[in-house]
Amino acid sequence: MRRALSLVAVVATPAIVAAQNAKSAPAAPSAPLTESQQIASALLALPKEFRDGAKVLGYRSGSKELVPIREAAGQFTCLATEPGKSFHVACYQNSMEPFMLRGRELRAQGVKDPQVDTVRFAEVKSGKIVMPKQPAAMYQLFGGSYDGASNSIIGSRQLFVIYIPGATPASTGLSDKPLEGSPWIMFAGTPKAHIMLTPKM
Determine, yes or no, domain membership for 5.
no
What is the per-residue pLDDT for 44? 98
Q: Domain span at residue 42?
A: 35-197
Determine, yes or no, domain membership for 30.
no
What is the per-residue pLDDT for 15? 35
Our count of domains for the chain comes to: 1
What is the per-residue pLDDT for 23? 41
pLDDT tens, 120-173? 999 999 999 999 999 999 999 999 999 999 999 999 999 999 999 999 999 999
| Beta bridge partners of residue 90, listed in sequence order | 79, 140
Determine, yes or no, domain membership for 24.
no
List, for the chain, all residue ranges whose pLDDT scores fall below the cut of 50: 1-26
If residue 70 lies in a helix (H) or strand (E), which one and from where to where? strand 66-70
What is the per-residue pLDDT for 181? 81
Measured over the CA atoms of residue 201, residue 82, residue 68 and residue 65, the dihedral's sign is positive
Supply φ then ψ for residue 52, to 5 degrees.
-60, -30
Taking residue 74's Cβ as centre, other Cβ atoms within 10 Å add up to 16
Determine, yes or no, domain membership for 107.
yes
What is the per-residue pLDDT for 53? 97
pTM of the model: 0.85
Determine, yes or no, domain membership for 18.
no
Determine, yes or no, domain membership for 29.
no
Determine, yes or no, domain membership for 154.
yes
Determine, yes or no, domain membership for 23.
no
List the one residue out of 123, 120, 85 whose CA is nearest residue 10.
120
What is the per-residue pLDDT for 179? 81
